[in-house]
Amino acid sequence: MRRRVAPYLLLGPGAAWLLLFFVVPLYYLAELSLNSGVFGSYEFSWHWENYSDALQLYDTQFVRSFVYAGLATLFALLLAYPLAYTIAFKAGRWRNVFLFAVVAPFFTTYLIRTLAWETILSDQSPVVSVLDFLGLAPEGHVLATGGAVIAGLTYNFLPFMVLPIYASLERIDERLIEAGKDLYASAAQTFWRVTLPLSAPGVVAGTLLTFIPASGDYVNAQFLGSASNQMIGNVIQSLYLKQSDYPAAAALSFVLMAAILVLVLVYIRFAGSEALMGEEAV
Amino acid sequence: MLNSKKDQRRSPAVLAVLIAIVALALGVAACGGGSSINGGDTESEEVKLEGKPSGDLTISNWPLYIDEETVPDFENEIGVNVAYKEDVNANEEFFAKMDPLLKQGESGGRSLFVVTDWMAAKMHELGYLQNFDKSALPNFEKNLVANLQEPEYDPNREFSAPWQSGMTGIIVRKDLAPDVKSICDLFDPKYKGKVEMLNELRDTVPLVMKCLGIDPTNAGEEDWLKAIDKIESAANSGQIRRFTGNDYGADLTSGNAVAVIGWSGDAVQLQADNPNIEWRMPTEGCILWSDNMVIPVGAPNPTAAEAFMNYVYDPENQAQIEAEVNYVSPVEGAKQVLLKEEPEIAKNQLIFPSKSFTKNCTIQPSPTGEEEQNLNRAFNAVLNG
């Protein structure tokens, strides 16, 4: 008897929370997305055109969001993997210090961290002079370009990439790597055939944790981008708070959710669900 | 995965519970949607006053828009307990928050809040505001400056009382953009990538209309769209670095931007902090706007709300606010008070502009209804590239 009740009791608080703060708002959002009319007098009317409008009017920003988020995820992965690898295998007694350093930025708010990039990439900053010298700032400035937005996204979501990869690397049984060496595999071969596959769950989790929030982000584009670098999150924000076009904003939010869901499903299918679930699922 | 069989057996029950709860939520929502909406009645009710002001008063205003002594002084003098909230950050955002309440005839405990002209007009149109009982507002009747007495949306000032006014024009770095004097100069390729404009439809677009020689007051949808087109090509060419809220201040200070469309009150502050920053009255003129005190439907204690309005329309009390916030004062006589106390503020054209200073300026125009929706869409398409 107790065995049957306990799981529900444990599920209860989480489920109630999700129901109240996710399912119910989602329902209202769905209703709102089918409203029509003008600001001040929106009415529910099964207005599906909101959805086709959302796709037609904002396809540019959709594509841009996924390109920016994809690039940010790629750069974050390239930065995070060696970092996580070093922390897991080479850091020795410095391991906790490094881990703390990865998490430390979270002690300041997201907004402040993004605004710091505004200072770092300011037109007169040494960083920009160097980039300009190297020919990496063709417009003469770095702020207010797509590059700045991608850099901001990469930076802000980097810890979400580092931590899962670290967790999966750290769990690897070192005897497996030793076994690889015993079987005359070179260091590179051991890495490709033992370490990397075993850390795949961390890579998949990290890319998802980076890509999903990055594609919906609007803070980086707002502060680091120009008008031609705005992402779909900015469009939704301006539909809500500037244009007061709530139905269009709601419809666009649903389209974004669906698009991310589809992309993620395709990705998981491609990357293999075993990798996501870890070896237990195999 | 091993447990999948058991999960499958149980999930229909869980699903059923979920569906039941969602259905319940639907039912509740349906009830909520069915209640009456008192929108559209243009004949607003007048507030009902009750004797001497007392009790509690909740005010919502924009951040940093008052002297910190004003509220305590008012509490002591009148004997009202004030909760002063700085929770109006943008008209649209505040409306989004208040709309569901006001629709039900409630104000969320607020007796008074401050919104810009066009928003006051819109709220009035929706029947969300009450008319004043002017018998308790002698200072307002006497001291409201002449040029704000008959705005188009409230010709008798029945439901809106200006809190502060302001001008939208150009702010420049005079060391980096010495020759920017007009809105048209902002399109000079010399300043490519160093110009910023406000992300506000009603500030930026009318100013650009002026550059095109269109009078914003009588502009139709076509005229607005013409100006939006001009802004769009400047955004696409990289002439306009980005569209901002009042964060243009940081970009001017760092030199990322050298000429921006901005607000007069910010200019006073920025000039004080950095002598290289300067307000330029555009040769085409500026946009004049006001933020207004209004009393919403369902406001508790309107007696105290009117007492507060009357209080800030006393020139002495207004001078105290004015010395702090640096926008344009709507109160006659505040200048005379400040001439004695803080002559620098009293002589500042951005705080007490003379008639000749604002001679080409236009009262902020605002499109409505379907036109507003179309223009919003067109303008925001530019903002979001």
CB B90 within 8 A of CB B114: no
- φ and ψ of A218, to 5 deg: -130, -15
Domain ranges of chain A: 58-281
User: In terms of Cα–Cα distance, which of B155, B165, B70, B79 is closest to B114?
Assistant: B165
Cβ neighbours of B385 in A, within 8 Å: 60-61, 226-230
B324 and B376 housed in the same domain: no
Contact at CB, A19 and B26, closer than 8 angstroms: no
The answer for residues whose C-beta is within 8 angstroms of residue B103's C-beta and 6 or more apart is: B37, B38, B39
Residue among A21, A59, A243 with most chain B CBs within 10 A, to mutate:
A243
Q: How far is A107 from chain B (nearest CA, A)?
A: 24
**Chain B residue with minimum CA distance to A277:** B1
Estimate to the nearest angstrom the gap between the alpha carbon of B140 and the chain centroid.
Answer: 20
B261 and B376 housed in the same domain: yes
**Secondary structure class of B155 (helix, strand, coil):** coil
Element at B198 (helix H, strand E): strand B195-198
The answer for residues whose C-beta is within 8 angstroms of residue B300's C-beta and 6 or more apart is: B56, B58, B107, B109, B111
Query: What's the ipTM?
Result: 0.82
Using CA atoms, how far residue A268 sits from A169, A204, A207, A253, A277, in Å, is 20, 8, 11, 22, 10
User: In terms of Cα–Cα distance, which of B55, B107, B105 is closest to B83?
Assistant: B55
Mean pLDDT for the stretch of residues B14-25? 46
The 3-class secondary structure across A256-281, one letter per residue, is HHHHHHHHHHHHHHHHCHHHHHCHHH
The residue length of chain B stands at 385
Strands B161-173 and B129-130: unpaired
- Inside any domain, residue B325: yes
- Chain segment B30-42, per-residue pLDDT in tens: 333 333 334 444 5
User: In terms of Cα–Cα distance, which of B147, B268, B278, B286 is closest to B203?
Assistant: B286
Q: Chains A, B: CB contacts under 8 A, how many?
A: 112
Q: Which of B254, B372, B385 sits opposite A230 (nearest CB)?
A: B385
Contact at CB, A238 and B384, closer than 8 angstroms: yes
Residue B7 reports pLDDT greater than 60: no
Number of domains forming the structure of chain B? 2
Residue B71 reports pLDDT greater than 50: yes
Q: Which of B96, B250, B384 sits opposite A241 (nearest CB)?
A: B96
* B34 against A70, higher pLDDT: A70
B159 and B180 housed in the same domain: no
- Inside any domain, residue B50: no
Cβ of A14 under 8 Å from any chain B Cβ? no
Surface-to-core class of residue B377, CB atoms within 10 Å of its CB (0-12 exposed, 13-18 middle, 19+ buried): middle
Cβ neighbours of B26 in A, within 8 Å: 27
Cα A143 to Cα A120: distance, rounded to the nearest angstrom: 9
Residue A16 reports pLDDT greater than 90: yes
- φ and ψ of A240, to 5 deg: -70, -55
Number of Cβ within a 10 Å radius of residue B332: 16
Cβ of A210 under 8 Å from any chain B Cβ? no
Q: How far is B33 from chain A (nearest CA, A)?
A: 9
Strands B112-116 and B56-60: parallel
Cβ neighbours of A126 in B, within 8 Å: none
B83 and B135 housed in the same domain: yes
Cα A66 to Cα A216: distance, rounded to the nearest angstrom: 9
Cα B73 to Cα B71: distance, rounded to the nearest angstrom: 5
B201 and B334 housed in the same domain: no
DSSP secondary structure letter of residue B184: G
Using CA atoms, how far residue A32 sits from A42, A258, B98, in Å, is 9, 17, 17
pLDDT recorded at residue A275: 58
Contact at CB, B240 and A123, closer than 8 angstroms: no
Surface-to-core class of residue B47, CB atoms within 10 Å of its CB (0-12 exposed, 13-18 middle, 19+ buried): buried
Residue among A10, A123, A220 with most chain B CBs within 10 A, to mutate:
A123
B205 and B67 housed in the same domain: no
Residue A44 reports pLDDT greater than 60: yes
Cβ neighbours of A40 in B, within 8 Å: 39, 99, 122, 125-126
Residue B81 reports pLDDT greater than 70: yes
User: In terms of Cα–Cα distance, which of B242, B232, B236 is closest to B195?
Assistant: B242
Q: Residue B114 pairs with which residues in a beta bridge?
A: B293
Cβ neighbours of B95 in A, within 8 Å: 244
**Chain A residue with minimum CA distance to B14:** A8
Residue B11 reports pLDDT greater than 80: no
Cβ of A143 under 8 Å from any chain B Cβ? yes
CA atoms within 13 A on the CB side of A40: 18
What percent of chain B stands above pLDDT 70? 89
Cα B220 to Cα A17: distance, rounded to the nearest angstrom: 50
Strands A35-36 and A43-44: antiparallel
Cα B197 to Cα B235: distance, rounded to the nearest angstrom: 10
Estimate to the nearest angstrom the gap between the alpha carbon of A239 and the chain centroid.
Answer: 22
Contact at CB, B90 and A124, closer than 8 angstroms: no
Cα B334 to Cα B17: distance, rounded to the nearest angstrom: 65
pLDDT recorded at residue B27: 41
CA atoms within 13 A on the CB side of B265: 20
**Chain A residue with minimum CA distance to B378:** A243
Cβ neighbours of A281 in B, within 8 Å: 1
B122 and B267 housed in the same domain: no
Confidence of residue A37 (pLDDT cuts 50, 70, 90): confident
Strands A35-36 and B362-363: unpaired
Q: Which of A40, A60, A118 sits opposite B122 (nearest CB)?
A: A40
Mean pLDDT for the stretch of residues A117-140? 87
- pTM of full prediction above 0.90: no
Contact at CB, A245 and B376, closer than 8 angstroms: yes
B66 and B170 housed in the same domain: no
Q: What is the domain range of residue B274?
A: 166-288+363-383
* B17 against A140, higher pLDDT: A140
Confidence of residue A92 (pLDDT cuts 50, 70, 90): confident
Contact at CB, A227 and B238, closer than 8 angstroms: no
- Inside any domain, residue B14: no
Contact at CB, B385 and A228, closer than 8 angstroms: yes
Q: Which of A61, A230, A244 sits opposite B92 (nearest CB)?
A: A244
B151 and B209 housed in the same domain: no
- Which CATH number is B158's domain given? 3.40.190.10
**Signed CA dihedral, A207, A212, A213, A217: sign only:** positive
CATH class of A58-281: mainly alpha
pLDDT recorded at residue A273: 60
Q: Which of A19, A229, A242 sits opposite B21 (nearest CB)?
A: A19
CB A177 within 8 A of CB A193: no
- Inside any domain, residue B70: yes
User: In terms of Cα–Cα distance, which of A254, A207, A224, A259 is closest to A65?
Assistant: A259
Q: How far is B132 from chain A (nearest CA, A)?
A: 23
pLDDT recorded at residue A276: 55
- Chain segment B252-273, per-residue pLDDT in tens: 999 999 999 999 999 999 999 9
- Inside any domain, residue B93: yes
Q: Which of A38, A41, A124 sits opposite B254 (nearest CB)?
A: A124
User: In terms of Cα–Cα distance, which of A212, A170, A220 is closest to A195?
Assistant: A170
Residue B2 reports pLDDT greater than 50: no
State the amino acid at position B368 in one-letter form. T
Residue A164 reports pLDDT greater than 90: yes
B161 and B173 housed in the same domain: no
Cβ neighbours of B18 in A, within 8 Å: 19, 23
DSSP codes of every residue in B159-179: S-EEEEEEEEEEEEETTT-TT
The answer for residues whose C-beta is within 8 angstroms of residue A236's C-beta and 6 or more apart is: A218, A249, A252, A253, A256
Contact at CB, B255 and A123, closer than 8 angstroms: yes
**Highest averaged pLDDT of the listed ranges A127-136, A148-157, A184-193, B22-31:** A148-157
Cβ of A56 under 8 Å from any chain B Cβ? no
- φ and ψ of B153, to 5 deg: -80, -15
Looking up tokens 């770092």 gives A120
Contact at CB, B255 and A124, closer than 8 angstroms: yes
- Inside any domain, residue B16: no
Mean pLDDT for the stretch of residues A177-206? 91
The answer for residues whose C-beta is within 8 angstroms of residue A242's C-beta and 6 or more apart is: B92, B199, B201, B376, B380, B383
Hey, what are A148's tokens? 């700045």
Contact at CB, A19 and B18, closer than 8 angstroms: yes
B154 and B172 housed in the same domain: no
B282 and B296 housed in the same domain: no
State chain B's mean pLDDT as an integer: 88
Mean pLDDT for the stretch of residues A77-96? 93
**A residues 69-108 closer than 8 Å to B (CB):** none
Contact at CB, B377 and A243, closer than 8 angstroms: yes
